[in-house]
Amino acid sequence: MPTLDHIASYRIQPDPGSPKLSRPIVGVDQDGQPISSQVIEERPLTIYLNAQEIVTAMTIGDYPEYLAVGFLKNQGMLKPGERITEVEFDEELDVVVVRTDTASNYEEKLAKKTRTSGCAVGTVFGDMMEGVDAVDLPSTTVQTSWLYTLSHLINRTPSLYLETGAIHGTVLCEADKPLVYMEDVGRHNAVDKISGWMHLENETPDQKILYTTGRLTSEMVIKTALMGIPVLVSRSGFTAWGVDIAQQVGLTLIGRMRGRKFTCLSGADRLIFDIDPDTVPDEPKKNRRKSAVDE
């Protein structure tokens, strides 16, 4: 189970006490008694690529530079070898401008949008499958003891998810150690922040595991595959198209990871069953928060 080494492995972790990310709102409970609830802040962030406005996303407002770069990368708007010369965030205007060393024109691509099942109206474009056929994921192995350790630690890490429930968390992990824990109102935003961090910090996807609190949808699988990460794990369930794409690209897809149980619907050949689930401590109910965003 987790040790101090695992806790120290975080390079970025949530800041649930930040007044910029949530605030208390007073209401009444089922008995008509006053009650104060911590509520997530939500604000628009407009992303530009060079001089072209690309999208306005609803986000909690942290790590806007990582979100912008990750979004553009996952949408195929930052090409391999294309160099980012500057990432500028204007806090007053809630605008991020990503500048590159090559000109860009995505008017046609922007004209054909597909709204996905992701909460906060995740947006991908009409050619969302572009690049998936070329994905070649690493042939790594995953010890099931790592999955239990990650689940145990991540579910106990102080976070906005545990405080409010109305948010998604995504964690980049290596073996049984979590590295970067991002949160946002949409699972797609949290993944894009991870992607942006990896790109700007030159972090390789080899031997990595992506853990999320959200559903394993087609969008989540595509983003993970395009990031080059071979394993995607969630507390939540699957969509059929998400499973189909995972099987197509050879991604290990594990869902319903709760307590001692999990279900793997793709890439089970990577799993090494090195621990008896009956020896794993059960997950206390207080760490099983299941909000409306989970399913």
What pLDDT does 293 receive? 41
Of 88, 84, 107, which is closest to residue 97 (Cα–Cα)? 88
Backbone angles phi, psi at 128, to 5 degrees: -60, -25
Question: Does the pLDDT value for residue 114 go beyond 50?
Answer: no
63-99 pLDDT, tens per residue? 999 999 999 998 888 888 899 999 999 999 999 999 9
Q: How many residues does the chain have?
A: 295
Closest by CA to 91, choosing from 46, 24, 52, is 46
Alpha carbon distance 6, 266 (integer Å): 27
64-74 helix and 218-226 helix, angle to the nearest 10 degrees: 90
Homologous superfamily assigned to 4-15+136-287: Cytidine Deaminase, domain 2 (3.40.140.10)
pLDDT attached to residue 66: 98
CA dist 218 and 249 (Å) reads: 12
Mean local confidence (pLDDT), 120-147 = 75
Tell me: pLDDT of 207 over 60.
yes
**Percentage, residues of the chain above pLDDT 70:** 85
Q: What is the pLDDT of residue 100?
A: 95
Q: How far apart are alpha carbons 148 and 144 in whole angstroms? A: 7
Distance between CA atoms of residues 280 and 2, nearest Å: 12
CATH fold group of domain 43-126: Ubiquitin-like (UB roll) (3.10.20)
Tell me if 71 sits within 8 A of 122, measured CB to CB: no
Return the domain boundaries, the chain.
Answer: 4-15+136-287, 43-126
The whole-number average pLDDT for the span 274-280 is 94
Q: Report whether pLDDT(4) > 60.
A: no
Tell me the two tokens of residue 206: 């080899």
Q: What is the 3-state secondary structure (H, E, C) of the chain?
A: CCCHHHHHCCCECCCCCCCCCEEEEEEECCCCCEEEEEEECCEEEEEEECCEEEEEEEECCCCHHHHHHHHHHHCCCCCCCCCEEEEEEECCCCEEEEEECCCCCCHHHHHCEEECCCCCCCEEECCCCCCHHHCCCCCCCEEHHHHHHHHHHHCCCCCHHHHHCCCEEEEEEECCEEEEEEEECCHHHHHHHHHHHHHHCCCCCCCEEEEECCCECHHHHHHHHHCCCCEEEECCCECHHHHHHHHHHCCEEEEEEECCEEEEEECHHHEECCCCHHHCCCCCHHHCCCCCCCC
Considering the chain, what is the average pLDDT of its residues? 87
Would you say residue 288 has pLDDT above 90?
no
What would the pLDDT profile of 138-164 be if each residue is shown by its tens digit? Answer: 889 999 999 999 999 999 899 998 888
Residue 187: pLDDT band (50, 70, 90) is confident
